[in-house]
Chain A
Amino acid sequence: AQSVTQLDSQVPVFEEAPVELRCNYSSSVSVYLFWYVQYPNQGLQLLLKYLSGSTLVKGINGFEAEFNKSQTSFHLRKPSVHISDTAEYFCAVSAPEKSSGDKLTFGTGTRLAVRP
């Protein structure tokens, strides 16, 4: 079984400042890693994913994340945030198996609040 820990429930930051949202996972098998963003009263939108290959993954809206296998982390970063980045961010893992497909295990989320 897999688990995901998002240590920060809320992250306040000023506009144009850099931000890092932390994500750690645990798993006994290789995993795929994802970051999703949820705007109020909407569904989840995929920001980026790590399946294999380069450990630095670039996603939409200027976000990137780095997979660190030794630290079992997949932190999300953006060098300069905008007001429009205010949302809930979820880290998720999957360990695809024929029997369970793409079942995702989510963290509890981090609320990013960007202030002017």
Chain B
Amino acid sequence: NAGVMQNPRHLVRRRGQEARLRCSPMKGHSHVYWYRQLPEEGLKFMVYLQKENIIDESGMPKERFSAEFPKEGPSILRIQQVVRGDSAAYFCASSPIPGHGYTFGSGTRLTVV
């Protein structure tokens, strides 16, 4: 079991470009969570997805950000028209069922230049 896989590990985008972050959950895990960590801060919840469904997106910015978790393939966090303030580490986590904690990936560090 390879754990939660995130790619790329590092991503550099120019202002206005799109960023696509991928997360492959652990085998057998159907619950996926995305968090953002700004420099010198803790992690902030963004979105919770199950296969093909967004369950809770209360932490997602209203514009430019979207997430999906298709029936086949990884979960994708998409940021359109990136700005410097989007520079952060984005972490994905997965769990088999709610209520017992979950496993984090190593994160994608996005730098907007």
What mask results when residues 89 to 110 of chain A are scored 1 for a CB within 8 Å of chain B, else 0? 0100000101111111111110
CB-CB contacts below 8 Å: B32-60 with A? 33, 35, 41-45, 48, 55-56, 58
B33 contacts A43, C-beta separation under 8 Å: no
How many residues of A are in contact with the other chain, CB < 8 A? Answer: 25
Tell me whether B98 and A102 are in contact (CB under 8 A): yes
Fill in one digit per residue for B86-107: 1 if any A CB lies within 8 Å of its CB, else 0. 0000010001001111111111
* Chain B residues with CB under 8 A of A104: 33, 35, 43, 45
Is A56 interfacial (CB-CB < 8 Å)? Answer: no
Known: A34-B101, A46-B101. A102 touches B95 (CB 8 A): yes
CB atoms of A100 and B107 under 8 A apart: no
Contact between A100 and B48, CB atoms less than 8 A apart: yes
**Chain B residues touching A, range:** 20 to 34
Q: List 20 A-B contacts (CB under 8 A).
A: A42-B106, A43-B104, A44-B91, A45-B104, A49-B101, A51-B99, A90-B42, A100-B48, A101-B31, A101-B33, A101-B56, A102-B31, A102-B33, A102-B100, A102-B102, A103-B33, A103-B48, A103-B56, A105-B45, A106-B42
Binding site for B on A (CB under 8 A): 32, 34, 36, 41-46, 49, 51, 90, 96, 98-109
